[in-house]
Amino acid sequence: MNPSIQGYAAAVLTALDAEATSKVAAELGELDIALLSNGSLRAAMTDTSISGASRREVLVALLEGKVSAPTVRIAGYAAFASHAQDVPAAISSLAQRARLTAQDGGFEEHPLSATGARQRVGGFAVALFEELAVKDLEEIEDELFRFARTVEGNPKLRLALQDRDFSVANRQALIHQLLEGKVSSPKPGIIAYVVSLFTHREHTAPTISLLDYVVAGGRSRDVIGTMDYLVEQTAAARGWRVAKVRTAMTLEPAQREQLVASLSAVAGNPVELQVIEDASLLGGVRVEVGDLLVDATAKHRLDQLREHLDAERHAYQKND
């Protein structure tokens, strides 16, 4: 199973009590059976011509209102992050993982390569970031960076966090001792809030949750490297939450809503618009989300036409 799916599931299941986790396990088990018995569903999930985002959209639409929200999240991410042919196996493995978590009150992560372990921690971060605002991500990025530098510059602390003979629980307790009350604790999103009402669990600051999982799901000898990896992932997540929009004219509220909905579907996360009006564009809109650029402005089309005409002119002169 893709390591990032392991981490994502860990983040979702950590917030649940045993009863809720057992429910997720049962629902994922039923989905596993459906994938084995329903040829159409299995074909849709394993079709290599369909993108991961599309598989996720189809599965979420199928499951919403029929199973619990945590099951929808876990199954949807598995459909998105797996290779098409691996989706059924991922769902089956996740059902087993949820069952073991419900029975034992936790799940011990098996060792992975340095790259695999970082990807697993990255998956945990993806789930954690889903309901956080851009300003929250900025704070978390700064807190992770500063703590990584603290660990790097403190040999005793670094050795304690890297010591495999020092239990995971003890290393996590050390992190809590150092950071509780000293890092940002944004209000949980609506899903996390509703879950907390039923599980009676206190909300843990996101930075501490991430560092807890660096210890539990990462490699002990790669603590600093994994924290720096998370800094990069947080910056990337922040970039994919902000859509920089340049437009020749004012966007109407309905146009804004439609643009937000479309970009959120592409990014896989809620998107905030930063709109700049620029009359020089003549018409249309230019959108940047992370490393995605869509330029549908009149100026861009005119520039393309000008380049095309120049190329045609040069070719004609060369052949003349």
Give the pLDDT confidence score for residue 273 in this predicted structure.
81
Give the pLDDT confidence score for residue 87 in this predicted structure.
97
Give the pLDDT confidence score for residue 272 in this predicted structure.
78
Give the pLDDT confidence score for residue 193 in this predicted structure.
45
Question: What HEC string does the chain produce?
Answer: CCHHHHHHHHHHHHCCCHHHHHHHHHHHHHHHHHHHHCHHHHHHHHCCCCCHHHHHHHHHHHHECCECHHHHHHHHHHHHHCCHHHHHHHHHHHHHHHHHHHHHCCCCCCCCCHHHHHHHHHHHHHHHHCCCCHHHHHHHHHHHHHHHHHHHHCHHHHHHHHCCCCCHHHHHHHHHHHHCCCCCCCCCCHHHHHHHHHHCCCCCCHHHHHHHHHHHHCCHHHHHHHHHHHHHHHHHHHHCCEEEEEECCCCCHHHHHHHHHHHHHHHCCCCEEEEEECHHHCCCEEEEECCEEEECCHHHHHHHHHHHHHHHHHHHHHHC
pLDDT tens digits along 95-146: 999 999 999 877 789 999 999 999 999 999 999 998 888 889 999 999 999 9
Radius of gyration of the chain (CA): 23
Question: Which residue numbers in the chain have pLDDT < 70?
Answer: 187-203, 268-269, 291, 298-320
Dig out the tokens for 9 from the structure.
């599931």
pLDDT tens digits along 191-231: 444 444 444 445 689 999 999 999 999 999 999 999 999 99
Length of the chain, in residues: 320
Contact 277, 310 (CB under 8 A): no
Q: How many Cα atoms sit within 13 Å of 97 on the Cβ side?
A: 25
